[in-house]
Amino acid sequence: MSEVSTAPQHHDRFDYSAIIDRPPLRWPGGARVAVWIVPNVEHFLFDRPSSSITQLTAGFVPDVLNYSWRDFGARVGIWRLMEVMEKYGVKGTVALNSDVCEHYPRIIEAGKALGWEWMGHGTNNSTMINGQPEEEERQIVRTVIETIERSAGKKPRGWLSPGLTESHRSLDLLAEAGIEYVANWVNDEQPYPMRVKSGSILSLPYSVEINDFAAFLEQGQSGEAFAQTIRDQFDVLYEDGAQTGRVMAICLHPFLIGHPHRSKHFASALAHITSRREVWLATGGEIADWYKRNYLKN
């Protein structure tokens, strides 16, 4: 006999909601689109495989080729990304591995000076959230929150798991710890509330398509093609946003977008977005605050 799964076949985190049936959503100043940019600032352990530019050495320990390729993001790529975003007046909402606070405090210092926001992103990007016992997962969440608060000076309000991974209890544990919004669920163009055992938590639109990881590593796009994808996404959302407001997430990794041959095209995409008037360049916390204040029943 086959083993019977004890995992639920359906979740009860939210009800189905067709976007065409919802009341119109309006952003501050009549903006059609709220654009938030999410740099994933990460630390990788030296003794295990992770994101790779080539599979040639991916099974080696240590895998110096791929590890050092990722390490480019913390040493060079993040600084180029900060420069481009500052030029166009965009603040990042960083998905931050808490290990970054220990290993690359200079990045935290610079992000604070720019007024960037910090989301929890696990301890490092070599540890996914899924198979841990409940108390171990609770401790991971607690450690991430406390470490970021101690380093950045503010408690993270949002959360994006490494690899967007969750257990069946993750949302409950995040809400229990005071996390206000989560970006793991990529199923909408507007925020929506999720059911949790205690407290509350909001889902903010994130993207696995307007995301340099999928674009470059899985789809083989060029920097120019990715920039055009960003422009195309924005143009349609801007048109749709005339009827009801939309959220556009641009999801980036400094070890990818931070290379010169890609960053120049990302800059051109930001120039396109910021040339429009009815756009709200927001952080995750700002989007969550506006939505909760104006669209959630008390």
Q: What is the pTM of this model?
A: 0.96
- Write out the chain's pLDDT in tens, 298 residues: 455 567 889 999 999 999 999 999 999 999 999 999 999 999 999 999 899 999 999 999 999 999 999 999 999 999 999 999 999 999 999 999 999 999 999 999 999 999 999 999 999 999 999 999 999 999 999 999 999 999 999 999 999 999 999 999 999 999 999 999 999 999 999 999 999 999 999 999 999 999 999 999 999 999 999 999 999 999 999 999 999 999 999 999 999 999 999 999 999 999 999 999 999 999 999 999 999 999 997 5
Closest CA to 248 of 90, 117, 113: 90
Cis peptide bond prior to 23, omega within 30° of 0:
no
Q: Mention every residue, 6+ apart, whose C-beta is less than 8 A from residue 65.
A: 53, 54, 56, 57
Radius of gyration of the chain (CA): 19
Q: Mention every residue, 6+ apart, whose C-beta is less than 8 A from residue 233.
A: 209, 210, 248
User: Taken in order 114, 119, 121, 124, is the CA torsion positive or negative?
Assistant: positive
Q: Which domains does the chain have, with CATH numbers?
A: 25-47+56-295 (3.20.20.370)
Amino acid (1-letter code) at residue 12 = D
